[in-house]
Amino acid sequence: MKSPIIYIVEDDPIIGADLMHRLQDLGYAVAGPFASGEEAVDKMAELLPDLVLMDIQLEGAWDGIETAQRMSEIRNMPVIFLTANSDDANFNRAKAAHPTAFLSKPFKARDLKHAVELALNQPAKNTPAAAEAKQDAAEESVYVLKDRLFVKVKDRMVRLLLKDILWIEADDYCCRAVTVDKEFFINQTLGKFSELLSEIPEFMRVHRSYVVNLKHVEEIGDLHLYIGKKQIPIGRTLKEELLKRIQKIS
């Protein structure tokens, strides 16, 4: 009988190696560890994992929650979240992704073993058809045109001019577009929505949780930028690109 393939998505190489050895000792096949969600998703079609052990904080633009959502669009499989921060905020964010289990670091070998066994024996919650329908509904919730977008609000599509957007902020599986006086809820992940804006030079994803309108940026520090009084973090490797992009649109 073929051993289940367990994906490890963990940006700490020591923890990743430890997980790999523990799982192999339990008789499982292991893929990874992968340090970023982008790399893990890119390899999925080739490796076809049966279970994912997912750190919430990862290298790259996607955190573990967004990575899990993108994986679910490709393959239906259980996810166990791993985190060193077991506070309520992190738990609630992870809970929104409907994981099979939630393990706080450091975890005991017995807890890992039991979590994996339970996850692999859990019946699938979502069929491919259901996943496709969910994605179609999300795509119909927003339309991006040249200078504006239309966002679904209750039973209407409401116009929002792109120039009025200050920033867009991740909110679990969804995101919020913020203007001077309003916030618009968008039924898409920040990653999916930022792809819709990728051809519009004024918008840049500066952090896994934020896309900003560069025309509204007022100050830039080493780790943060400011739009009005709002402090927004900048990804460690993105400041140089941010400065270049601002020069091009000014």
Among 78, 94, 126, give the residue marking a domain's end: 126
Query: What is the residue range of 191's domain?
Result: 135-249
Verify that 115 and 144 share a domain, yes or no.
no
Dmax (CA) of the chain: 61
Among 91, 126, 161, give the residue marking a domain's end: 126
- Tokens read off for 25: 């000792």
Verify that 73 and 101 share a domain, yes or no.
yes
Structural domains in the chain (count):
2
Q: The CATH number of the domain where 47 resides is what?
A: 3.40.50.2300
Give the model's pLDDT for residue 123: 58
Residue-by-residue pLDDT tens, the chain, 250 positions? 578 899 999 999 999 999 999 999 999 999 989 999 899 998 887 888 899 999 988 888 888 888 888 888 777 889 999 887 656 666 776 776 778 888 888 888 888 999 899 888 875 554 444 444 444 444 456 777 888 888 877 777 888 999 999 999 987 678 889 999 999 888 888 888 888 888 899 999 999 889 999 999 999 998 999 999 999 999 888 889 999 999 888 6
Q: What is the DSSP letter of 173?
A: T
Residues 6+ apart with CB under 8 A from 185: 151, 153, 171, 174, 176
- Do residues 64 and 37 touch, judged by C-beta distance below 8 A? yes
Verify that 69 and 164 share a domain, yes or no.
no
Residue owning tokens 């140089």: 240
Alpha carbons 79 and 31: distance in angstroms, whole number? 14
Residue owning tokens 């367990």: 6
Verify that 143 and 121 share a domain, yes or no.
no
Verify that 208 and 121 share a domain, yes or no.
no
Q: The CATH number of the domain where 233 resides is what?
A: 2.40.50.1020
- Do residues 119 and 78 touch, judged by C-beta distance below 8 A? yes
Verify that 77 and 188 share a domain, yes or no.
no
